[in-house]
Structure 1
Amino acid sequence: MADAIIGDEVKGARTQVPHSMILAVTLNSIMQFAFMVAVMFCIGDVDQVTNTPTLLPIIEVYYQATKSKPATNFLVAMIAFILFISLFNIFASVSRLTWAFARDNGLPFSKVFPHVHPTLKIPINSLLLVGTICCLLALINIGSSTAFNALISLPTIALYISYFIPIFFLVIRKLHNRHPTYGPFRLGRWGLPINLVSLVYIVYVLIFLPFPTMLPVTAANMNYAGPLVGAIILIALGDWFVSGRKRFEVPIARAAKGE
Structure 2
Amino acid sequence: MVVMIVLGQRHTNEFVWTEFVTDQSGWHNKGVIYSIGLLTAAFTLSSFDGVIHMSEEVNDAPRAVPRSMVWGLCVNAVLAFGFAIALLYTMGDFQKALDSPTGYPIIEIFYAQTGSKAASSAMMLPILLSGCYSSFNVLASVSRLTWAFARDEGFPFSSFFAHVSPRYKIPLRSLFLVTTITVLIALINIGSSAAFNAVLSLDTLALYISYLVPILFMLIKRVRFPGEIRYGPFNLGRFGVPINTFAMLYGTYITVFLPWPETQPVTASGMNYGAPVFGVALLFAVIDWFVRGHKKWNGPTVMTAPK
TM-score tier, shorter chain, comes to: over 0.9
1:67 pairs with 2:91: no
Out of 178, 181, 199, the residue aligned to residue 133 of structure 1 is 181
Deviation digits for residues 108-157 of structure 1, max 9, x if unmatched? 11122112222122211111111111111111222222222222221111
What is the aligned partner in structure 1 of residue 203 from structure 2? Answer: 155
In 1, are the aligned partners of 2:147 and 2:174 still within 8 Å (CA)?
yes
CA apart distance, 1:93: 0.6
Query: Residues 191-237 of structure 1: CA distance to partner in whole angstroms, max 9, x if unpaired?
Result: 10111111111111111111101111110100001111111111101
1:99 match? 147
Contact 1:91/1:131 (8 A) holds in 2? yes
Cα distance in structure 2, aligned partners of 1:193 and 1:17: 23
Instruction: State the partner residue of 1:176.
Output: 224
Aligned position for 1:144 = 192
Q: Which of 71, 75, 88 pairs up with 1:27?
A: 75
Q: 1:102 to 1:137 in 2, by over 3 A?
A: same
Partner of 2:3: none
Task: Give distance in 1, aligned partners of 2:195 and 2:94.
Answer: 26
Query: Residue 219 of structure 1: which of 268, 292, 297 is its match?
Result: 268
Work out whether 1:36 is the aligned partner of 2:76.
no
Alignment of 1:228-239 (within 5 A): 228-239=277-288
Q: Tell me, in whole angstroms, the C-alpha distance in 1 between the residues paired with 2:200 and 2:168.
A: 31
In structure 2, what is the Cα distance between the partners aligned to 1:68 and 1:53?
A: 16
Higher RCO (CA < 8 A, seq sep 6+) = 2
Partner of residue 237 from structure 2, selected from 175, 184, 188: 188
Change beyond 3 A, Cα 1:64–1:161:
same
Match of 2:160 among 93, 112, 129: 112
**In structure 1, C-alpha distance between the alignment counterparts of 2:154 and 2:86, rounded to whole Å:** 45
- Structure 1 255/22 Cα, relative in aligned 2: closer, same or farther at 3 Å? closer
Q: 1:55 to 1:151 in 2, by over 3 A?
A: farther
Alpha-carbon shift at residue 255 of structure 1 (Å) = 5.0
1:139-191 Cα shifts (integer Å, max 9, x gaps): 12222222222222211111111111011111112221344111111111111
> RMSD over aligned Cα, in angstroms?
1.7
Number of matched residues?
Answer: 255
Q: How far does residue 2 in structure 1 lie from its aligned partner after superposition?
A: 4.5
Q: Is 2:250 the partner of 1:201?
A: yes
- On the 8 A contact 1:59/1:72 being kept in 2, the answer is yes
Amino acid across the alignment from 1:219: A
Of 111, 130, 136, 1:82 maps to 130
Are the aligned partners of 1:2 and 1:97 in contact in 2 as well (CA < 8 Å)?
A: no
Alpha-carbon distance in 2 for matches of 1:134, 1:53: 28
- CA displacement at 1:58 relative to structure 2: 1.4
Identity %: 47
Deviation at 1:76, TM superposition (A): 1.4
Q: For the Cα contact (< 8 Å) 1:114–1:123, is it kept in 2?
A: yes
Q: Contact between 2:261 and 2:272, CA under 8 Å: does it hold in 1? A: yes
The 1-side partners of 2:128 and 2:52 are apart by: 28
Cα distance in 1 for partners of 2:158, 2:225 equals: 39
Cα offset, 1:66, TM superposition = 1.2
Tell me if the contact between 2:98 and 2:104 (Cα under 8 Å) persists in the aligned partners.
Answer: no
Give the partner amino acid of 2:247.
S
Alpha-carbon contact 2:201-2:274 (below 8 Å) kept: yes
- Equivalents in 2 of 1:98, 1:45: separation in Å? 46
Q: CA deviation at 1:7?
A: 1.4
Q: CA deviation at 1:55?
A: 4.2
Q: Which runs of 5+ in 1 are unaligned?
A: none
SS at match of 1:190: helix
